[in-house]
Structure 1
Amino acid sequence: MAASPALLSLSLAPAVSRHPHLLFSSTHSPRHLRLALPSASSSSSPSPSPSPSPRGGGVFLSPSALSQLDALAAFRYAHSFPHGILTVRALTAPDDAEADALVGLLASSFAEDVRWAPAQRYAQLLAFVIRRYLHERRGLAPHAAVLVGFYKPAVAEEGEEGEDGEDEGEMACTAEVSLDAVGAPGAPPTPTPPLEFPYICNMTVKTSLRRRGIGKQLLKACEDLAVKMDAKRRVYLHCRIIDQIPFNMYKKAGYEVVQTDSIFVWLSLQKRKHLMRKELPQVASGSNFTTIDFDDNVLMN
């Protein structure tokens, strides 16, 4: 696990995106859902706040927001390792197999931190909660995005991907990026980050693919998305005090500790966390964005 989860502090009031390029679909998920928007949003949001639909079934998006939604759908971040290639993109069109893989990846990651519950029953509960949470979050695009990364071993690059070249490989990682106050989690972990700034959370790498540099590239992809979506350049995330490897990675990537949980947070059965932030560099429009480089072999758990 990397950036500490906002997922388990979620509100179970899902929402449905009305954009055909960014859907998270499951045949078992409810369709009569309504989006609850924050009471106020930052004036510096990438686009005007969506207006509630008079029918209560979702939101209307301005032309500017629709343009950003297309930009989010087109977002791609790729990195080649000696051992394979990673491609990161926003969660896209309905695909039950992809949805199941993402839910399974997040459920197994969160379940790693729980020792008091029967593993199978707890994993089932997590899968149910996560699936509904993702429905809620996708309805906030383009103010928030769920990124998914796919890894293809180097062997597969040498002619095994087929003629169409569309085989992305296996789902390797995921992260969520809130870009402004509209897309901010309803109940973020403490210490509470400023809602109007980009916030990275629910970041994890598949267990079998850890310590290959994938986590670092996923973090870069999140930062790249914030820049390309014209969000504010100060990015926040949480890191648990006990997670020394992720903490070292964030420090090396340019993040600094802003605040740390009080020791009394243990009374609420939570682990103490650092709130960390990074100032992303200002770049000219249309230019490529590159984060601070560091060792690909150093990866969080």
Structure 2
Amino acid sequence: MAAPALLSLSPAVSRHPHLLFSHTHSPRHLRLTPLAASSSPSPSPSPSPAGGGGGVFLSPSALSQLDALAAFRYEHTFPHGSLTVRALTPTDDAEAEVLVRLLASSFSEDVRWAPAQRYAQLLAFVIRRYLYERRGLAPHAAVLVGFYKPAAAEEGGEGEVDGDEGEMACTAEVSLDAVGAPGAPPTPTPPLEFPYICNMTVKTSLRRRGIGKQLLKACEDLVVKMDAKTRVYLHCRIIDEVPFNMYIKAGYDIVQTDSILVWLSLQKRKHLMRKELPQVSVGSDVQP
């Protein structure tokens, strides 16, 4: 569904994830892009020393936000099961590997120029490195993962189960400020100082169950609870009707649309969309 500072998929819940992969066609060339420059109000975080894995030094305020991010949970119950969304932490190595496979599988769905399995293996290598760097930017950016547990009547289905949490069903990334912003966001370019939702996708076998809608709400809930600016941006390709309709129903408006000239670079045209989240007083809880 939306994008980070590494690879670039288009934002789509139903079929096309929006990883920040920069891609072209025939064949697609993947390249890591640099992280966004650290340009935030004082006291400003600064990049970690060499070998620090893309992390930043944290102020007391940022440390408090880091605790809030670790405690973040978004839960929703469907007639067919339940969904729990939380942030991926630096110690979630097993979960990170499941997430790498989920993203690689999602992005390789539409590849026609090479065997999807081989392409997914290439993507897995790039995504693994990307996730390592992005997790080091917490609490300025967060990778959210959603776990689905079917209702009793549906138990016994396929899927990778991670302990008591259930099957990893979906993921999204939220950049909360300029420090955590993508290094190379897709066009039309969003203002980097505002929250930005990207790399949003739902596992193929669990789509069309309302999980994408709740994942989007979880992203918005995180923005509010992290006390970030409440104007949120994301991208959606023009051809992706299902996620586009979901965004419209959720209150997002089109801010700008790619010029038709983007076709010259073999990219699909995209909408930049925006939503003003309701102001919530500090200390209040936002319910799903």
- TM-score in same-fold range (> 0.5): yes
Once the two structures are superposed, residues 84-128 of structure 1 have per-residue CA deviations (whole angstroms, 9 ceiling, x without a partner) of 000000002534431221001101111123222221221111101
Once the two structures are superposed, residues 102-158 of structure 1 have per-residue CA deviations (whole angstroms, 9 ceiling, x without a partner) of 001101111123222221221111101110111111111100000000000011899
Matched, 1:269 2:266: yes
* Contact 2:38–2:47, Cα closer than 8 Å, also in 1: no
- Report % sequence identity: 85
* Contact 1:53–1:59, Cα closer than 8 Å, also in 2: yes
Question: Of the candidates 252, 256, 261, which is equivalent to residue 255 of structure 1?
Answer: 252
1:1-301 counterparts in 2 under 5 A?
1=1, 4=11, 5-9=18-22, 12=32, 38=37, 40-41=39-40, 43=41, 48-53=43-48, 57=52, 58-92=55-89, 94-155=91-152, 167-290=164-287
How far, CA to CA, are the matches of 1:118 and 1:241 in structure 2?
27
How far, CA to CA, are the matches of 1:67 and 1:39 in structure 2?
19
The number of residues matched between the two structures is: 259
* Contact 1:48–1:64, Cα closer than 8 Å, also in 2: no
Q: Which runs of 4+ in 1 moved over 6 A?
A: none
Once the two structures are superposed, residues 178-228 of structure 1 have per-residue CA deviations (whole angstroms, 9 ceiling, x without a partner) of 000000000000000000000000000000000100000000000000000
- Look up the equivalent residue of 1:12 and give its one-letter code: L
Kindly tell me: are residues 271 and 55 of structure 1, through their superposed partners in 2, closer, same or farther at Cα, counting changes over 3 Å?
closer
How far, CA to CA, are the matches of 2:153 and 2:69 in structure 1?
28
How far, CA to CA, are the matches of 2:33 and 2:104 in structure 1?
19
* Unpaired stretches in structure 2, ≥5 consecutive residues: 3-9, 12-17, 23-29, 156-162
* Contact 1:238–1:274, Cα closer than 8 Å, also in 2: yes
Q: Which residue of 2 aligns with 1:28?
A: none
* Contact 2:109–2:116, Cα closer than 8 Å, also in 1: no
* Contact 2:38–2:179, Cα closer than 8 Å, also in 1: no
How far, CA to CA, are the matches of 1:129 and 1:285 in structure 2?
39
TM-score, normalized by length of structure 1? 0.80
Kindly tell me: are residues 85 and 120 of structure 1, through their superposed partners in 2, closer, same or farther at Cα, counting changes over 3 Å?
same
- Look up the equivalent residue of 1:180 and give its one-letter code: D
* Unpaired stretches in structure 1, ≥5 consecutive residues: 15-35, 159-165, 292-301
* Contact 2:77–2:83, Cα closer than 8 Å, also in 1: yes
Kindly tell me: are residues 180 and 171 of structure 1, through their superposed partners in 2, closer, same or farther at Cα, counting changes over 3 Å?
same
SS at match of 1:59: coil
SS at match of 1:250: helix
Deviates more, 1:118-127 or 1:173-182: 118-127
